Amino acid sequence: MRDTALHRGFSSRKLMLAILGTLLLAVVLAGCASSREPVTAGEFVAAAEGLSFEVGERPLDEYEHLIEAGITTSFTASRGTASVVFSTCLDEDSARFVFDVSSNGVEELFASPRSERIDNRLTWNFHERRSPTALTVAIRIDNTVLAASAETAEDVAAVDALIAAIGY
């Protein structure tokens, strides 16, 4: 075996390329995960009230099926035809179940959308159907679920603003 500068340089280049390739792969995978942070119920309420929604807590003891689904807190926000429900669940599995039910509602409420977007990731899910004057959407981030609908262009814009305000 020869120990020449050329041989050492070639090995160093291979090592450097392997390191760069690994870093590039890590960056790409991190981008695919696109982790999102859930908001608290208090942050949701503050954002909704700040956008002139009427907000109320859903009394879970009146809705036994919500408790059985694993929902621990639930708030509704309404404005015109817009209705937004924000729920916190016991864990991610409960939230996935609530999201699935809400996502089915998206399909039932809005049979012929102009556009539909579905995005499923490890820590969050998104299902939206939209037209210029109507919207239904279900979003899960970790153990939280937001479900919303609106039936006028103005209320669609209000729901979009609320979703953007909380980063969902």
Domain hosting 6: range is 1-33
Supply the pTM of this predicted model. 0.75
Q: Does pLDDT of 16 surpass 80?
A: no
> Tens digits of per-residue pLDDT, 58-79?
988 887 888 888 999 999 999 9
**Residues 104 and 152 reside in one and the same domain:** yes
Q: Quick one: average pLDDT of 16-42?
A: 56
Count of beta carbons in the 10 Å neighbourhood of residue 75? 20
pLDDT for 122 equals 85
**Residues 18 and 50 reside in one and the same domain:** no
**Residues 136 and 77 reside in one and the same domain:** yes
Q: Is 8 exposed, middle or buried (CB count within 10 Å of its CB: 0-12, 13-18, 19+)?
A: exposed
pLDDT for 43 equals 98
Using CA atoms, how far residue 21 sits from 25, 29, 131, 138, in Å, is: 6, 12, 42, 37
Helix 41-50 to helix 153-166 angle (10° resolution) is 140
> Tens digits of per-residue pLDDT, 145-168?
999 999 999 999 999 999 999 999
Q: Quick one: average pLDDT of 12-29?
A: 43
**Residues 28 and 45 reside in one and the same domain:** no
> Tens digits of per-residue pLDDT, 93-144?
999 999 999 988 777 666 666 788 899 998 899 999 999 899 999 999 999 9
CA distance 36 to 111: 29
